[in-house]
Amino acid sequence: MKNTLIIGGGIAGSSLAIQLMKRGVGVTILDRGINHSSAVASGMVNPMVFRRMNLSWRVDEMLPYARDFYLELEDTLKAKFYNTLRIRRFFSSEQERGYWEKKQHEAEYQKYLTLHDDFDEKVPLAKNEFGSGIVKNAFWIRSKRFMEKMHLFLKEQKVLQYGQFEPAKFILEELSYDGSIYDSIVFCCGSDNDKIPYFSQANIQYNRGQILHIESSELSQQELWNRKGFILPVGEEKFMLGATYEWNEPSLNITAQAREKLEGVFKTITEASYEVYGQTVGMRPTVADRRPVMGEHPEYRGLFIFNGLGTKGYMLAPLLSLEMAQCMTEGRALHEEVVFSRFYK
């Protein structure tokens, strides 16, 4: 494989470009220059799924690889965006506390979970009726800075071009776009997948998320607090308060309803005072079965998809981009849960 065109330069497309470039593949990214997901995400890498009190999918593989991937990129991009993170989960009930106490002693959870400490005595403003637990080995990426530095690097490498994908310029039979012929073309279009007819079976859904940006001198700068949402410290007494999950909402308008809901989340966690200084909105590309979509089209050789990373994009993208690159360049099989062909069964 000599050259690849990637449509979409978000976390999926950019990570795949890095992996392919390491393997000597010539890469061109076509990105419209307006990011509605990767650049506005919280960038949190959390080994837990709190709604189910389970570990994230393939976390023992995903998390350490992602950490190494971002730390290496800090050197490559000459920028700082990786941050360690301690997550405090406030339990919503005695039942949830019981689940946590049981799971923290199970072998697969021990490196990620520990029970509450003397937190109540230190932070009286937190609402902690049922106690709390600590998630270890989490981290977060300053997503906006990361994407800005990634795009700057890819432009310097003459890999990234800004522009809208125009179907009239694409000839499927010869895998050419705008007069250039490629060995492969990968669609990493996020929630815009519905505009690409070749992979419509994946049915990537709109999942709008909104975040408030707040200031407070009373909140912890050392921990992310979580219950029904999160308060993420980003430095200088500033925080992200998130996030909403709004299914099948295709617009990218911020709403008063989302602000009201998020301020309600804040009040379930703490009595601290705060001020709102901003609100952002993004669109998560999510699949009904909660698994990404990857692989070659079963009918059109050389046509690939890498999409649907959803709410865990910053944890999944590093290792899955490696596996995608290995599939494309070496013919390695992808994980059975992510293959696009699952939609043809």
Sequential DSSP letters for 151-188: HHHHHHTT-EEE----GGGEEGGGTEETTEE-SEEEE-
What is the per-residue pLDDT across 63-119, written as a single tens digit (0 to 9) for each?
999 999 999 999 999 999 999 999 999 999 999 988 898 998 899 999 999 876 555
Is residue 296 within 8 A of residue 302, CB to CB? The reply is yes
For residue 135, tell me if it sits in a domain: no
The reported pLDDT for the residue numbered 315 is: 98
- Are residues 187 and 320 both part of a single domain? yes
> Which CATH number do you get for residue 239?
3.30.9.10
For residue 322, tell me if it sits in a domain: yes
Question: Is 229 exposed, middle or buried, given 0-12, 13-18 or 19+ CB atoms closer than 10 A?
Answer: buried
Torsion of CA 154, 157, 160, 161, to 10 degrees: 140
Per-residue pLDDT for 160 more than 90? yes
Reported confidence tier of residue 125, pLDDT bands at 50, 70, 90? confident
Q: What is the pTM of this model?
A: 0.95
Per-residue pLDDT for 1 more than 70? no
- Are residues 244 and 194 both part of a single domain? no
The reported pLDDT for the residue numbered 151 is: 97
pLDDT averaged over every residue in the chain:
93
What is the per-residue pLDDT across 223-276, written as a single tens digit (0 to 9) for each?
999 999 999 999 999 999 999 999 988 889 999 999 999 999 999 999 999 999
> What's at 298, amino acid-wise?
P
Is residue 20 within 8 A of residue 36, CB to CB? The reply is no
What is the per-residue pLDDT across 191-233, written as a single tens digit (0 to 9) for each?
888 888 899 888 888 899 999 999 999 998 989 999 999 999 9
- Are residues 224 and 335 both part of a single domain? no
For residue 54, tell me if it sits in a domain: no
> Which CATH number do you get for residue 182?
3.50.50.60
Tally of domains within the chain: 2
The reported pLDDT for the residue numbered 197 is: 87
For residue 20, tell me if it sits in a domain: yes
User: Nearest Cα to 318, choosing from 84, 6, 5, 12?
Assistant: 12
Q: What range defines the domain where residue 303 resides?
A: 3-40+145-204+288-344
Question: Where a domain ends, among 254, 286, 318?
Answer: 286
Question: Where a domain ends, among 241, 269, 286?
Answer: 286
